[in-house]
A and B are shown apart, each in its own frame.
Chain A
Amino acid sequence: MTDNVQQEDIVTAVGTAAQAVFSTMLNLPLELGAAHHDATEPDSFDGVVALVGVAGSWTGGGRISCSPRFACRLAESLLMSPYESVNEDVLDAVAEVANMIIGNVKTFFEERLGPLGLSVPTVIFGRNYRTRSSGVQKWTVVPFRCGDEAMEVRFCLMPARNHTAPASHADLVQTL
Chain B
Amino acid sequence: MPLDVLIVDDSAAIRKILHRVLVQADVPLGNVHEASDGNEALERLKVDKVGLILSDINMPNMDGIEFLSRLKANDAFKLVPILMVTTEGSQAKVMQALALGAAGYVKKPFTAEQIKEKLTGLI
Q: Per-position contact with B for A92-103: 1 when CB-CB < 8 Å, else 0?
A: 110110011001
Contact present for B13 and A89 (CB under 8 Å): yes
Interface residues of A (CB under 8 A from B): 20-21, 24-25, 75, 78-80, 88-89, 92-93, 95-96, 99-100, 103-104, 107, 110, 115-116, 118, 120
Chain B min CB distance to A35 (Å): 21
B4 interface residue (CB < 8 Å to A): no
Q: Which residue in chain A gives the minimum CB-CB distance to B93? A: A115
A40, B59: Cα distance in complex, Å: 31
- CA A21 – CA B89 in complex, angstroms? 14
B108 touches A100 (CB 8 A): yes
Contact A89 B88 (CB under 8 A): no
Complex Cα spacing A96 to B56, Å: 12
CB-based contact A107/B17 at 8 Å: no
Interface string of B14-38 (1 = CB under 8 A from A): 1011001000000000000000000
Q: Are A24 and B110 in contact (CB under 8 A)?
A: yes
Q: Tell me how far the C-beta of A155 lies from the nearest C-beta in chain B, rounded to whole angstroms.
A: 15
Smallest beta-carbon distance B67→chain A, Å: 15
Q: How many A-B residue pairs have CB under 8 A?
A: 58
Q: Give the dominant DSSP class at B's interface.
A: loop
Considering only CB atoms, which chain B residue lies closest to A120 in the complex? B60
Contact B88 A99 (CB under 8 A): no
Q: B109 is contacted by which of A20, A95, A110, A118 (Cβ under 8 Å)?
A: A20
Residues of chain B from 57 to 72 with CB closer than 8 A to chain A in the complex: 58-60
Is B1 positioned at the interface, with any CB of A under 8 Å from its CB? no
- Nearest-Cβ distance from residue A98 to partner chain B, whole angstroms: 10
- Contact assessment for A120 and B109 in the assembled complex, using a CB-CB cutoff below 8 Å: no
Extra inter-chain contacts (19) besides given A96-B13, A120-B58, CB under 8 Å: A24-B111, A25-B17, A78-B13, A79-B16, A88-B12, A89-B13, A95-B13, A99-B58, A99-B87, A99-B108, A100-B108, A103-B58, A103-B87, A107-B87, A107-B90, A115-B92, A118-B88, A120-B10, A120-B60
